[in-house]
Every structure is written in C-alpha cells, then in structure tokens.
Amino acid sequence: MVPPKKSLAKVVMDYLSDAGVAREHMVFSNVGDKVLVSMPVKVASKALNTEFALFRSTQKNDVVLARITEPYHLPTHVAEVVSFVDDIMRFPSLDKIHLGKPELDSSNLRTDTPSPFNSCGSRCAGFTTPAVLSERYGFTSPMNSADSSNSMAVAEFQLQYYNTADLNKFSQSCDVPAVTVQTTYGGNMPSYCTIYPSFCTEALLDIEYIKAVASAVPLTVFYSDNYSILNWINKVLSLKNPPLVHSVSYGNDEVQQTSAQYMYSCNVQFMAAGTRGLSILIASGDQGVWGRTGVGAVFNPEFPASSPYVTAVGGTNFRTQSVIGPETAWNCGGGGFSNIFARASWQSKAITDYLKSSSLPPSSYYNASGRGYPDLSALGGLTNPYCIANGGLIGVSGTSAATPVVAGIVAQLNDIRLQNGKSSLGFLNPLLYANPKCFNDVNDGSNNACDGSYGFKTVNGW
C-alpha cells in the first residue's frame, strides 16, 4: 500500500478521531489519496455538520441509501486538504436494460444450414448469439485454454446478481463451454434471480458474453450494493494481482456526478490501473447524445465513458438485419465530447479530421475541444438483440452487451501476448488510435438519441 502524505492524512485522521471515529475504521486507498471511513450516522452527522435520512428507491424497493438532507461542512483547516466527501450525496441512476424480440424478416435467415442467428435455439431465433459474434469478429471460439497469468473481470452494482442455473442454461443452449465465475468480491445472492429475474439481467448478460468470447480465461465478479465507480476501482487496485481486463456496463451523465473533483479522483485511479497493465472498458451509454438527463440546451456526455483513461465501447447494428456483414451506428448509443476532460493527444488527429465533416450538430450543443468517445464499438442495438439466459431465454441489447464482448476479445489478445512472453495490453487507447487500419470502420448511421433529432454521424476514420 502506498503510504498517504502524512501531513495531510494526519489532519483528516485527527479530525475524524476527535469526532469519534476509531482509527481502525479509517482505511487509505492503495494510491494513498483517499480514506474510506466507516461510522454510525450519528457520528457522521457530527463530523460533517449535517443531517442524514434513509431513502428507498421507487424502482427497486431493496435499495435503501443514507444521504444528507442539508449541505455538509468541514472546518477550514480540514476543508483545505479535502477535495470532496463521497457517497453522501446524489442518487444512482438505475438504468433499464433494453428488452424485446425484434420483428425479423425471415427471408434473411439461412435455411440450408443452421443459422448463427438460430444457434441458441428457436426461442432466440434472429438474436445475436456467440456464433454470430465469432463469425463477425473472427475470434477463436471456443477458447480451449488460457495462459495461467491471464484474467478478466466484470463489475456489478445494485442487486445485479447471477446464478449457476442460468449460466448453465446459456452454456447448453448456445453450445459454449461451461460459464463459470472463479472469484466474487462483495457477495452474491443467486436466489434473487429466481424471485426477481430483472435484478440479474445485467450481471448475467455481462458474465455470459465475456465468457462466451474468452471462455478459458478466469473471471472475477466485483459486486457492490451501492453504485460507486471510485469505490470499485479502489477495490480493484487494492488487490496484489488484479484482473487484467475489466468490463463495466454502468455510468451516469457527467452533470450527475457528485463533483468534477470526484471524476478527477477516478481518473487518478484509472491512470494507476494503466500503469499496472490493466485494460478498463466502459459502456458508452444507451441514451444517445442527450444522456440520462434528457433533451436540453446541451448534450450530456456520460462518465466514466468520457474519461480519457478508459476505453469507451459504443453500440452498432448490422446494416442489413440478420445478415452478418457491415454495421451501422446504433441510434441510441452514447457518444460525443466530454465537458470536463480535454481532448487526448492520441485522438487529436481523428477528432480534427472528424470535425471537418459537413453534418455536425450545432456547435453550441457540444464541447469540440473535449475528449471524444466511444473509442470502439460492437453489436449492441435492438435490430438483432443478444440471446441470454435469465429465467428463460430472452433478448437484450445495449452498449452493456457490446462492452463484455470487446473485453473478451481483449482478454484473448492478452492471452496471445502472455503465451509469447509479452506483457498485457494495458491502457488501450493510444494503441487503438495509432492503428486504425486494424479495425472495421463503421461509416454509416448516427447516435441521434433514438428520436431522429441531433446526433453525431459516423464518417470514415472515426
């Protein structure tokens, strides 16, 4: 563990001790720039000079959070060394995953041989399956073995659990090797998947498809009741040997974050992850340019996808429904330009060339000097939803589906490198933008927020 700066840490620790917090309940992050404090609400109210109340989610009754009802205050000498206090303000956005069965043109389905779109059985006819992904993206399937040092992970929050019965059903229905989770941090309640199937949809999607792509690579699940990207990455970095690839299908708009300081603090951890050879892939969101906040005076970029130190994954559809071939941008896929983070040097040319295109939204809607995202995309739209096992076999879609697929491919690439005595890929973005010819160029469609309004159109190169 990196020792914190003693002078600054002592100010905070002494203040918390005086407020009644035991030293053993103060845990510093691996980087040494944050302290995780456990204390009763009564003590927290005194330490922060505020009041707390319990709030229950109207969408998921099991989600109960303690949040302040008044602004918090710190003495001047403490405030001078504290950027922000987290997990006491704002509520997480509980996103709804896209469900549904597409209206398919049966003339597009092959009848002479089993179609990849039917490879999970009749219940998933017309859906994207592991066989579809393997044929489209050319990854090895099944992946029979993995280097002993390879690893990958998914992050789950807010009652998104998984159960063995659904994982087994997916393996059997889609003819992929057994889907297993090697390690779980934060616990799991598989019974919820039977009682409340919707609580498990996201986790099962993430697990089933990252393992469908990289079946032999050991998988870790990081779970937390409360949604906090900062707490999640701190947990990852606290491990001696954290997984090399991370798929995260969660996010909120930048304007919905606690503060800019919170996002900057996450960035420090993302940079630390990169230096340790970790690849972090984040879903770009499913609300187009307007984000979860909705239509307004400006577009709403999503965090952590907008961070320059993660790889943001967008969503596409097949240009022709149920035909494995060229792709078009999914009109609900998140993407745009950050209002917090500046354009990264490694994507400068791609953005400069893009901004020369003729079909841009009004300039007042977006920050042309900001970090642009997504960096990569994969199938995720509603045209051919993903087949997953969640109670029964159902269709789901979103960048939440695209992200674990891309993460699984990165895990496969890592395996090739590791078996040849090389390091893991680590922070991906500079490599991606320096080698555009290595990728399929999506040059059709726009992320116009599902409603045909403003959006960013795809062009050759980005």
DSSP label of 380: -
Q: Which of 79, 107, 137 is the last residue of a domain?
A: 79
Structure confidence at residue 113 (pLDDT): 55
Percentage of the chain modeled with pLDDT above 70: 92
Q: Please give the sequence-ordered ranges of beta strands (E in DSSP) within 374-424, or none if there are none.
A: 376-379, 386-390, 392-397
SS3 content of the chain, % helix, strand, coil (to 5): 35, 20, 50
The CATH number that applies at residue 335 is 3.40.50.200
Q: Of 79-88, 103-112, 276-285, which gets the smallest average pLDDT?
A: 103-112
208 in catalytic set:
no
C-beta separation of 48 from 88 below 8 A: yes
pLDDT at 105 over 70: no
202 in catalytic set:
yes
In a domain, 158, yes or no: yes
Pair (151, 217) in one structural domain = yes
228 in catalytic set:
no
Pair (19, 158) in one structural domain = no
Kindly state the tokens that stand for 303: 């965090």
pLDDT at 273 over 80: yes
Structure confidence at residue 1 (pLDDT): 45
Query: Do you find a cis peptide bond into 130, omega within 30 degrees of 0?
Result: no
Structure confidence at residue 95 (pLDDT): 54
Could you give the CA distance from residue 127 to residue 120 in angstroms, rounded to a whole number? Answer: 9
Cα distances from 200 to residues 93, 229, 279, in angstroms, run: 17, 19, 25
In a domain, 373, yes or no: yes
Q: How many domains does the chain have?
A: 2
Residue 295: partners with Cβ closer than 8 Å, 6 or more residues away? 449, 453
In a domain, 239, yes or no: yes
From 33, 156, 166, 206, the catalytic residue: 206
Reported residue count of the chain is 462
The model's pLDDT over 339-394, given as tens digits with 9 standing for 90+, comes to: 999 999 999 999 999 999 878 999 999 999 999 999 999 999 889 999 999 999 99
Structure confidence at residue 213 (pLDDT): 98
pLDDT at 106 over 80: no
Pair (266, 361) in one structural domain = yes
Question: Which residue would you say has higher pLDDT here, 451 or 380?
Answer: 380
C-alpha 366, offset from chain centre: 23
From 141, 173, 279, 400, the catalytic residue: 400
Pair (222, 320) in one structural domain = yes
From 33, 166, 202, 327, the catalytic residue: 202
Q: Of 64-68, 134-138, 322-326, 453-457, which gets the smallest average pLDDT?
A: 64-68
Range from 29-33, 78-82, 370-374, 448-452 that averages highest in pLDDT: 370-374
Pair (37, 103) in one structural domain = no
Residue 20 backbone phi and psi in degrees, to 5: 110, 15
Cα distances from 32 to residues 6, 19, 410, 445, in angstroms, run: 10, 22, 29, 45
In a domain, 460, yes or no: no
Structure confidence at residue 101 (pLDDT): 55
Question: What's the domain range around 404?
Answer: 98-438
Pair (179, 267) in one structural domain = yes
Pair (73, 118) in one structural domain = no
Residue 292 burial (CB count, 10 A): 17
Instruction: Please state the rounded mean pLDDT for residues 49-71.
Output: 82
Residue 352 burial (CB count, 10 A): 12
C-beta separation of 291 from 334 below 8 A: yes
- CA angle 334–338–340, rounded 5-degree value: 140
Structure confidence at residue 22 (pLDDT): 87
The model's pLDDT over 420-434, given as tens digits with 9 standing for 90+, comes to: 999 999 999 999 999
Pair (75, 41) in one structural domain = yes
Q: Which residues pair with 68 in a beta bridge?
A: 52
C-beta separation of 329 from 431 below 8 A: no
DSSP element (H, E) containing 413: helix 399-419
Cα atoms found within 13 Å of the Cα of residue 252, Cβ hemisphere only: 17
Could you give the CA distance from residue 368 to residue 268 in angstroms, rounded to a whole number? Answer: 24
Residue 225's pLDDT band (boundaries 50, 70, 90)? Answer: confident
Structure confidence at residue 418 (pLDDT): 98
Q: Of 112-116, 154-158, 238-242, which gets the smallest average pLDDT?
A: 112-116
Mean pLDDT over the full length of the chain: 90
**Secondary structure of residue 325 in the 3-state scheme:** coil
